[in-house]
């Protein structure tokens, strides 16, 4: 049976390195997290395990954690409500007469929403939100036809990303036999990553899950930094993107990157502020809280100071860990580097805008929940079509030289 890698953070990091990952690679990382095939008997997934020196659980007992979790039992209702116009995830119905002249009988033809068709029991990823913001029609094509093969630039970004990750993380393997084991791995990665952040001031590839705006959402934060000695220790979320050309991206690309980081902050702040909704979590993802974890996972959790037997035990540790974390800093950081030599092209430090973010989420959820058809990119951003693998089959396609030139100018 195949084994999956476990991640162990190294000790004695001399400095906080810069995480470098391409925009396309980040999409693949999050897509892989969201699209894990739970029906498989075994799969390969990263698991994290902390060192004894930095283990948060060496100084705080499990009973203390349990008391901490029980003290926050109520779930804030504001995180259960949907955005205006998106009161629930619903299918769109086309009503047509059945032939009854009196109109006493009707047939209803119901089409499932994209959420129901493609994200059932998986959750919506942050990449789903950013991809649909880039172009909803392209996102629709990806869902229906499959994601295009990765490009040379994407592979280069992936290789660079893996090399930098090795500076702070060591990978080993454990066996996973069920969907519960898969989720145990994800939760374990969060716990150990948060532990590393609290004691060393840096963690990477931190998986997130939360129930926000009426939907389950998942994501992987590229990098989180936090002062270790200062009194104010709000984590700073950072995302570094590589560029194939030695210049800064266009405004639509920068806007998309800002949306991504704001989504991460929204998820982070939600999960650390609200008692994790256990029942909804187990029900939505069809998980058995009493499932006995595999022996290798139990050994890994025990070695990290987390003596667990069932998935429910690990979820409790997850909730307890969230209670120890402060909200993320309002200042978010995007870094752009030249892929060829990793030189810094520029930084985009910006302030979290909750009003703008919720408008973007509302628009995206209307599309995902089937409340409206997919939008095409606006006229001023039609240069995007020149780089779309589905342009030839898109109803809005045009091959004018003007769009081709705009594509070159905005690349």
Give the mean pLDDT per block of 10 residues along the chain (411 residues): 49 40 45 39 49 39 39 31 33 32 41 91 95 96 88 74 71 84 94 92 92 93 90 92 91 97 97 90 96 93 91 96 96 94 94 97 96 94 92 76 50 55
Token readout for 70 is 């029980």
How far apart are alpha carbons 127 and 188 in whole angstroms? Answer: 22
Supply the pLDDT for residue 161.
67
Question: What one-character-per-residue DSSP string does 316-338 give?
Answer: HHHHHHHHTPPPPPSEEEEEEEE
Supply the pLDDT for residue 242.
87
Paired residues of 359 in beta bridges: none
How far apart are alpha carbons 372 and 363 in whole angstroms? Answer: 10
Paired residues of 217 in beta bridges: 124, 210
Q: Work out the angle at residue 251's Cα, subtended by the Cα atoms of residues 250 and 252, and round it to the nearest 5 degrees.
A: 95
How far apart are alpha carbons 201 and 356 in whole angstroms? Answer: 29
Supply the pLDDT for residue 55.
41
Backbone dihedral region of 103: left (phi > 0), alpha (psi from -120 to 50 degrees) or beta?
left
Supply the pLDDT for residue 396.
82
How far apart are alpha carbons 351 and 24 in whole angstroms? Answer: 24
How far apart are alpha carbons 385 and 377 in whole angstroms? Answer: 8
Supply the pLDDT for residue 46.
54
């Amino acid at each position: 049976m195949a084994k999956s890698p476990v991640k162990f953070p190294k000790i004695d990091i001399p400095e906080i390195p810069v995480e470098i990952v391409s925009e396309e690679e980040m999409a693949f990382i999050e897509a892989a997290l969201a699209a894990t095939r739970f029906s498989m008997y075994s799969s390969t997934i990263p698991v994290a395990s902390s060192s004894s020196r930095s283990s948060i659980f060496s100084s705080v007992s499990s009973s203390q954690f349990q008391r901490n979790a029980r003290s926050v039992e109520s779930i804030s209702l504001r995180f259960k409500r949907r955005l205006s116009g998106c009161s629930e995830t619903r299918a769109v119905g086309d009503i047509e007469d059945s032939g009854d002249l009196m109109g006493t009988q009707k047939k209803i033809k119901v089409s499932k929403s994209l959420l129901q068709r493609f994200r059932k029991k998986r959750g919506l990823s942050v990449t789903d939100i950013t991809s649909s913001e880039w172009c909803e029609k392209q996102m629709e094509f990806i869902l229906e036809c499959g994601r295009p093969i990765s490009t040379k630039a994407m592979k280069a970004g992936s290789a660079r990303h893996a090399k930098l990750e090795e500076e702070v993380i060591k990978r080993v393997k454990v066996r996973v036999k069920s969907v519960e084991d898969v989720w145990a791995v994800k939760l374990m990665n969060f716990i150990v990553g948060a532990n590393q952040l609290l004691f060393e001031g840096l963690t990477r590839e931190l998986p997130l899950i939360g129930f926000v705006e009426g939907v389950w959402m998942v994501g992987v934060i590229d990098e989180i930094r936090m002062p270790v000695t200062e009194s104010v220790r709000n984590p700073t979320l950072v995302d570094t993107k590589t560029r194939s050309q030695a210049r800064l991206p266009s405004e639509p690309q920068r806007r998309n990157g800002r949306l991504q980081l704001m989504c991460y902050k929204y998820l982070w702040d939600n999960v650390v502020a609200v008692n994790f909704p256990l029942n909804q979590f187990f029900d939505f993802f069809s998980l058995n809280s009493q499932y006995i974890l595999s022996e290798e996972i139990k050994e890994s959790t025990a070695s990290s100071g987390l003596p667990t037997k069932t998935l429910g035990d690990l979820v409790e540790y997850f909730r307890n860990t969230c209670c120890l974390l402060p909200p993320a800093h309002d200042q978010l950081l995007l870094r752009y580097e030249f892929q060829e030599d990793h030189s810094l092209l520029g930084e985009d430090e910006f302030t979290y805008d909750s009003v703008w973010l919720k408008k973007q989420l509302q628009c995206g959820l209307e599309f995902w929940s089937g409340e409206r058809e997919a939008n095409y990119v606006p006229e001023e951003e039609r240069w995007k079509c020149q780089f779309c693998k589905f342009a030839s089959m898109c109803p809005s396609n045009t091959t004018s030289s003007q769009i081709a030139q705009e594509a070159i100018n905005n690349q």
